[in-house]
Amino acid sequence: MTDKPRKLRSAQWFGTADKNGFMYRSWMKNQGIPDHEFQGKPIIGICNTWSELTPCNAHFRKLAEHVKRGVFEAGGFPVEFPVFSNGESNLRPTAMFTRNLAAMDVEESIRGNPIDAVVLLAGCDKTTPALLMGAASCDVPAIMVSGGPMLNGKHEGRDIGSGTVVWQLSEQVKAGHITLHQFMAAEAGMSRSAGTCNTMGTASTMACMAEALGVTLPHNAAIPAVDSRRYVLAHLSGMRIVEMALEDLRLSKLLTREAFENAIRANAAIGGSTNAAIHLKAIAGRIGVPLELDDWTRIGRGTPTVVDLQPSGRFLMEEFYYAGGLPAVLRRLGEAGLLPHPDALTANGHSLWENSKEAPLYNDEVIRPLDKPLVADGGLCVLRGNLAPRGAVLKPSAATASLLKHRGRAVVFENFDDYKARIADPELDVTADSILVMKNCGPKGYPGMAEVGNMGLPPKLLAQGVTDMVRISDARMSGTAYGTVVLHVAPEARAGGPLAVVRNGDWIELDCESGRLHLDVSEDELAQRLETWREMNSKRNPADVSGYRNLYVDHVLQADEGCDFDFLVGCRGAEVPPHSH
Ligand code: FES
Ligand code: MG
């Protein structure tokens, strides 16, 4: 046991012939582990977000088994451990509320345990950033294996996409175009296999971001969950992480500023979710890479969206994989000189460009040529102005082009309950040119910054055939949603941002071209309103005074800062803590 290479941190648990080594080994042996498994092998943690309450990750026990096969084959010893699993579909008030809790769980689980390197099993939206955030704060060698998307949804003879079809059908049922029976019959057709949402929603976006950041093997993002090649990728990732442990290929060597710039460019090309702006910022913050909201404008704007997937386009993740997946997109970008840093290192030891320069591309409809894009300028639009001094975002590819420059009168909802109570009122003073404004749905206000920003249109306007209106809030929106929706307004209303004092009838100007979001009231008037707001809102919401919610509201950062907790930002490394006895 003494000839174990010192650089393996697990040796500080299992590598000594004393009282402590006895304890660490003996208790592990109750699982039937023979002595030789402790002899100098890299111990590979498999960080698993499996849960039956996170349906998108419910197949992860099987995924973990294939990772283990690869780890054993390469001479490592795998240890699987669970972490908090925050599933998007069931968890209230929103899985975002517990993203940082999960990240904290991941970080402390890695640092406190005999782990030399880690495989991160993530799938559903928030699990991917949570695992990358936690592992980045430890800066250990890590590779991510995503769960993969569900097969295409099937309903009434056509393909339907996760989430996106929910928004579409719920509008159609409200407008009286389909029956409630038809609406509910689509449930089973939409989710008919293991896996994550099959649209280019947040889960697929974050899987693509992980691949573009270089923390996965090539093709990780798109292989369907039930395709046997997903399990081959898990096996190969298990083999590779053992080498990474021996090479000491830590996350800080992969998650560089260059990698984030590549990811931002890739996000524009795939038509990715607005949520990526928040999550990438949070991950960057953990590894100490500077990243600003304006980087999305500088690096992303002008990049064509070439991936024709819902919600912006037509197809689903199955077609994306069969068309060539993310490596084909990266090849397309690289050949046009649009990959900012082709030499960025990835988990397999090769550069991003080495991994993608010969990637086959099988379908020009799904991954379109750069000169026939789905959207000519696919980057996120970052907006600023007196209504959003610290920024807001809009996804032009999911919006209506004619509304990207718009002046309209505000119809204000004080919170989501107020919106639900009044939106269907036939007397609501609203026209198609109005701007729907919703407050108190931000990180502190909701709390958790729920995905309610794409608030449904007034039924009376839907019945007239109105399909889109400008909407503004401090909320987020599901990556599967669409519309001319201004999101992530910072500072949020609950934190005293100007959004808090917008009144019914105020004129608002939106101009995506110049990145302007302006409330048309005088500076004096705005200052006066904010002063009055502060006087009336000094008291804390009684619901926020205890429990995790108290911690959350006190420490969550605003959207432009990634909504991490202030005390979790930064890399704390993985120095081995003192013995427990
Ligand atoms: Fe889990 Fe969409 S709800 S990936
Ligand atoms: Mg989602």
The reply to whether 146 and 275 lie within a common domain is yes
pLDDT at 398: 87
Q: Let me know whether 282 and 402 are in one domain.
A: no
Compute, in angstroms, the gap from residue 171 CA to the centroid of ligand 1: 21
Helices 180-190 and 164-174: crossing angle, nearest 10°? 170
Question: What's the angle, vertex CA 206, arms to CA 227 and CA 374, rounded to 5?
Answer: 85
Same-domain pairing of 457 and 528: yes
User: Is residue 360, in this structure, part of any structural domain at all?
Assistant: no
**C-beta separation of 285 from 570 below 8 A:** yes
pLDDT value of residue 460: 93
User: What's residue 1's pLDDT?
Assistant: 43
Query: Residue 361 falls within a domain, yes or no?
Result: no
CA distance 342 to 345: 9
In the beta sheet, which residues pair with residue 315?
A: 309
What confidence tens digit (pLDDT) does each residue in 530-573 have? 999 999 998 888 888 899 999 999 999 999 999 999 999 999 99
Query: What pLDDT score was predicted for residue 174?
Result: 85
How many residues are there in the chain? 581
- Domain for residue 166, yes or no? yes
How much is the average pLDDT of 571-580?
96
Asked if residue 21 is part of any domain, the answer here is: no
Q: Whose CA is nearest to atom 2 of ligand 1?
A: 197
Query: Which ligand gives the minimal distance to the CA of 454?
Result: 2
Q: Which atom of ligand 1 is nearest to the CA of 89?
A: 3
pLDDT at residue 155 greater than cutoff 80: yes
Q: Of 175-179, 425-429, 456-460, 562-566, which gets the smallest average pLDDT?
A: 175-179
Rounded mean pLDDT of the chain? 96
Assess whether the C-beta atom of 100 lies below 6 angstroms from ligand 1. no
| Distance of CA 211 from the midpoint of ligand 1 (Å) | 18
Shared domain for 490 and 399, answered yes or no, is yes
Is the pTM of the predicted complex or chain greater than 0.95?
A: yes
Overall average pLDDT of the 370-390 stretch: 95
Which domain, by its residues, includes 237?
A: 41-151+193-336
Chain segment 483-506, per-residue pLDDT in tens:
999 999 999 999 999 999 999 999
Q: Which of 49, 51, 88, 92 to mutate to test the pocket of ligand 1 (most atoms within 8 A of CB)?
A: 88
How many independent structural domains does the chain possess?
A: 3
Average pLDDT (371-386) is 94
Average pLDDT, integer, range 114-136: 98
Question: Does 157 lie in the same domain as 62?
Answer: no
Among the bound ligands, name the one nearest to the CA of residue 202.
2
pLDDT at 79: 98
pLDDT for position 3:
44
Asked if 448 and 530 sit in the same domain, the reply is yes
The two three-digit tokens of residue 274, written as one number:
């607005």
Assign 3-class secondary structure to 427-468.
Answer: CCCCCCCCEEEECCCCCCCCCCCCCCCCCCCCHHHHHCCCCC
Residues 441 and 520 reside in one and the same domain: yes
CB atoms within 10 A of CB 532: 11
Q: Which atom of ligand 1 is nearest to the CA of 125?
A: 4
Residue 132 is part of a domain; what is its CATH number?
A: 3.40.50.2300
User: What local confidence, expressed as pLDDT, does residue 5 receive?
Assistant: 46
Q: Does 372 map to a domain?
A: no
161 Cα–ligand 1 center, Å: 12
Name the band, by pLDDT with cuts 50, 70 and 90, for residue 479: confident
Would residue 548 count as lying in a domain? no
Burial of 352 (0-12, 13-18, 19+ CB in 10 A): buried
**What per-residue confidence (pLDDT) applies to 6?**
44
Same domain, 116 and 219: yes
**Residue 550: Cβ within 10 Å count:** 13
pLDDT tens readout for residues 444-455: 999 999 999 999
CA atoms within 13 A on the CB side of 174: 20
User: How many percent of the chain have pLDDT more than 70?
Assistant: 99
Arithmetic mean of pLDDT, 505-526 = 97
226 and 306 in a single domain? The answer is yes
Counting from 1 in the atom list of ligand 1, the atom nearest the Cα of 163 is 2
pLDDT at 525 over 60: yes
Residues 58 and 133 in one domain: yes
What per-residue confidence (pLDDT) applies to 171? Answer: 85
Q: From the CB of 451, is ligand 1 less than 6 Å away?
A: no
Answer yes or no: is the C-beta of 218 below 6 A from any ligand 1 atom.
no
Q: Supply the DSSP symbol for 250.
A: B
What pLDDT is attached to residue 377? Answer: 87
> Cα(563) to centroid of ligand 1, in Å?
20
Q: Is residue 351 part of a domain?
A: no
Q: Cα separation of 302 and 369, whole Å?
A: 15
Under 8 Å CB-to-CB from 508, ≥6 apart: which residues?
A: 387, 407, 408, 409, 410, 435, 437, 470, 472, 502, 517, 518, 519, 520
- 2 is a domain residue: no
Greater confidence, 544 or 152?
152
Q: The complex's ipTM? A: 0.95
Distance CA 409, CA 200 (A): 32
Copy the structure tokens of residue 282.
Answer: 């949070």
Residue 489 and residue 430 share a domain: yes
Q: In one letter, which amino acid is 497?
A: G
Residue at token pair 């917008």:
502
- Are both 83 and 168 inside the same structural domain? no
Region 88-93: what's the mean pLDDT? 96
Q: Whose CA is nearest to atom 1 of ligand 1?
A: 124
pLDDT value, residue 2: 42
Question: Distance between alpha carbon 255 and the CA centroid of its chain, in Å?
Answer: 16
